[in-house]
Amino acid sequence: MNILLLGASGRTGREVVGRALDAGDRVTALVRTAGQLDDISHARLSVHTGNPCDPAVLDRLLPGHDVVVSTLGPRLPTKAATAIYSESAASIVQAMEGSDVRRLLVTSTAMLFPGGGLLATVLRRLTPHVVRQAGRMEERIRLSSLDWTIARMGFLTNDSATGYRHAEGASREGGGAISRRAVACFLLAAARQSAHVRQVVGLCSAR
């Protein structure tokens, strides 16, 4: 595949880069600051600097790609930081609907699933901006004409596990943490297989 990756310098984004290159894909990585991926050198990796919330930047990069993968997310749960969810969604949808690229996969939060018990309730109250802005992101994408997949997950870990469990439209029973590497594996498999199109998918680790 020819993949346009947004959020490539983040920890999940880096896992997508590594897994995609291992699989023989070509990756165009968009980063906000020059030098953020200087530690990765590969003939099938092209790194560009720009703002993913600027449709003009995406218009320039989109041609020739099969799929857009976004692992964009806030480093802190503040109002300003979490705006990346809704602002990037508006930019992505605008650019993609004006192009020939239809396939989009994005990461989101399992806090948007109802229920989840006391812990989920507490987390929603502690991080209202995450819930609000991720909800706006999802709404913008779901109202688009694109072939989208939204992957919702809870706590992310840095271990090397690649297995995952998933459920369309629901959080997996007994779900919890999942490795960033497993998330990357899911995103690439869903893109390659054209699976879970126009579906919200709950992810958790394989047990």
DSSP string, 160-198: ----EEEEETSPPTT---EEHHHHHHHHHHHHHHT-STT
Please give the model's pTM, rounded to 2 decimal places: 0.95
Residue 128, number of CB atoms within 10 A of its CB = 13
- The arithmetic mean of pLDDT across residues 1-5, rounded, is 98
CATH of the domain at 155: 3.40.50.720
Spatial CB neighbours of 29, under 8 Å, sequence gap ≥ 6 = 5, 8, 9, 13, 17, 37, 45, 46, 47, 48
Residue 172: the pLDDT is 58
Residue 116: the pLDDT is 74
Instruction: Give the least confident one: 18-32, 60-74, 89-103, 164-178.
Output: 164-178
pLDDT exceeds 80 at position 87: yes
Q: Is the four-CA dihedral 8, 17, 138, 88 of positive or negative sign?
A: positive
Residue 72 DSSP symbol: -
Residue 182's identity, in one-letter code, is: A
Q: Are strands 67-70 and 2-6 parallel, antiparallel or unpaired?
A: parallel
| Full domain range(s) for residue 140 | 2-205
The number of domains in the chain is 1
pLDDT-derived band at 175 (thresholds 50, 70, 90) equals: low
Residue 59: the pLDDT is 97
pLDDT-derived band at 1 (thresholds 50, 70, 90) equals: very high
128 CB-side CA count, 13 A: 1
Residue 8, number of CB atoms within 10 A of its CB = 29
| φ/ψ (deg, to 5) at 179 | -75, 150
- The arithmetic mean of pLDDT across residues 38-66, rounded, is 97
How far does the chain reach from its first CA to its final CA, in angstroms?
30
